[in-house]
Amino acid sequence: MNLHEYQAKEIFARYGIPVPQGQLASSPEQARAAAKQLGGEKFVVKAQVHAGGRGKAGGVKLVEGFDAVEETAKKMLGTQLVTKQTGAEGLPVNSVYVEKPSAIARELYVSAVVDRSKERIVFMASAAGGMDIEEVAEHTPEKLKTIAVHPAAGLQPYQARELGFFMEMSKEQVDQFTKVLSGLYRIFTELDAALVEINPLIITGEGNVVALDAKLNFDSNALYRQKAIAEQRDYSQEDEREREASKYDLNYVTLEGDIGCMVNGAGLAMATMDIVKLHGGKPANFLDVGGGTTAEKVTEAFKLITKSPDVKAIFINIFGGIVRCDLIAEGIITAVKQIGLKIPVVARLQGTNMEKGREMLKASGLKITPVEDLTEAAQTVVALAKSA
């Protein structure tokens, strides 16, 4: 789960990480009032969306005067901001963050993630901040330095100093950076973060270390014990179908193809997408309906898949281990009838009570083609989607 920049900066401030002064606004008038309260002549107006790359996309503007703040907020609010990190339709700008501008002497980069092979939290830092860090990592990896934190010892000051000196900071700046890093480490561990990133971390004109941007991502599996974080979730920034899916405990990810997939088990779901691609098709989604699938879940899954107008055919691939194929068949039939499904369905049911399941599908008189063999099922659904 992601937070907005302004929310992340609030947390930063609580953990002793210096951030510019700012105020949130959800209307142009509020933006003007925010600027007045902050005081001064110049301001930064920043679109609040769950994506980076806003600067290049016109979502970060340096402006002068209250009128300009109001004008800029008016232009940003209510639009969909498309950046390199969003899809083609972009993300809705429902609020802007008005900040006092900082004078930038240098733009640096620092982040932390869990390195699963090392089984440690690792910090990455680079003097090449502000730009695409992926580019830096790919073309000039020597400009990135990584340190791994021992879970029992925690982040050690010498490790922070090592990164600070790597970024050619002065001694005073290294001291400030050490506080920043220890704050980030506490955020990471105390709040169950999955990613913390400051890009850019700047050296101001006066030579101080300040977080100019803030990105926090949290481990969704830990949200049950991070109520204060979970409450700050902004659903407007998330895919509507994925949101709907989480309500029914369905593991769903929207993709760009035209073949809807309904599968039980994450591994089988991956294999199903692979085989669809192998035979020239494109999956419209990843969907794992889970082990203890019920008829109700199958119905909800169908509704989700068919919400996308791009879906031309549906591929059901169920292995009846814990669930019984006849129950699944019942769910499929109910769902197809209930939503008045027009597009073709190919169903492959294997495992417990598979014969009964297949017979039920055949007898239903609906546009459902039962196929036993996986390859044949994939070929059939790809052909159906192409001829649609």
Report the binding-site residues for Mg(2+).
Answer: 199, 213
Of 18 and 28, the one with the shorter C-beta distance to Mn ion is 18
Sign for the CA dihedral angle at 185, 186, 191, 192 comes to: positive
The least CB distance from residue 15 to ligand GDP, in Å, is: 19
CA angle 133, 137, 140 (to 5 degrees): 110
Of 213 and 330, the one with the shorter C-beta distance to ligand GDP is 213
The least CB distance from residue 213 to ligand GDP, in Å, is: 3
Per the residue annotation, which of 5, 6, 70, 197 is the catalytic one?
Answer: 197
178 contacts which partner out of Mn ion, ligand GDP, none, CB within 5 to 8 A by kind?
none
60 contacts which partner out of Mn ion, ligand GDP, none, CB within 5 to 8 A by kind?
ligand GDP
CA angle 269, 270, 274 (to 5 degrees): 115
Per the residue annotation, which of 5, 70, 97, 109 is the catalytic one?
Answer: 109
- Long-range contact list for 265-272, CB < 8 A, 24+ apart? 265/291, 265/319, 268/317, 268/319, 269/317, 272/315, 272/317, 272/378
Which residues belong to the annotated binding site for ATP?
46, 53-55, 99, 102, 107
DSSP string, 79-97: SEEP-TTS-TT-EE---EE
130 contacts which partner out of Mn ion, ligand GDP, none, CB within 5 to 8 A by kind?
ligand GDP
Of 17 and 60, the one with the shorter C-beta distance to ligand GDP is 60
- Give the footprint of Mn ion on residues 196-235 (CB under 5 A): 199, 213
126 touches Mn ion (CB under 5 A): no
Helices (H), the chain: 5-14, 28-38, 66-76, 133-139, 157-166, 171-190, 227-230, 240-247, 266-278, 295-307, 325-338, 354-363, 374-387
Of 92 and 101, the one with the shorter C-beta distance to ligand GDP is 101
330 touches Mn ion (CB under 5 A): no
Query: CA-to-CA distance for 254 and 221, rounded, in angstroms?
Result: 20
The least CB distance from residue 376 to ligand GDP, in Å, is: 48
Grouping H, G, I as helix, E, B as strand and the rest as coil, residue 5 is: helix
Catalytic status, residue 89 = no
The least CB distance from residue 54 to Mn ion, in Å, is: 7
CB-based closest residue to ligand GDP: 55
Grouping H, G, I as helix, E, B as strand and the rest as coil, residue 232 is: coil
Query: Residues 160-199: x/- map of binding to Mn ion (CB under 5 A)?
Result: ---------------------------------------x
Catalytic status, residue 248 = no
293 contacts which partner out of Mn ion, ligand GDP, none, CB within 5 to 8 A by kind?
none
380, 382, 386, 388: CA torsion to nearest 10:
60
Beta bridge partners of 210: 202
Grouping H, G, I as helix, E, B as strand and the rest as coil, residue 26 is: coil
Both tokens of residue 274? 């692979």
Of 54 and 312, the one with the shorter C-beta distance to ligand GDP is 54
Which residues belong to the annotated binding site for substrate?
264, 321-323
Query: CA-to-CA distance for 330 and 347, rounded, in angstroms?
Result: 12
Give the H or E element holding residue 204. strand 193-204
User: What residues line the site for ligand GDP (CB under 6 A)?
Assistant: 20, 44, 52-55, 60, 62, 101-102, 104, 107, 130, 199-200, 212-213
107 touches Mn ion (CB under 5 A): no
90 contacts which partner out of ligand GDP, Mn ion, none, CB within 5 to 8 A by kind?
none
The least CB distance from residue 59 to ligand GDP, in Å, is: 6
The least CB distance from residue 265 to ligand GDP, in Å, is: 37
Cβ–Cβ < 8 Å for 335, 302:
yes
Q: Which residues are catalytic?
A: 109, 197
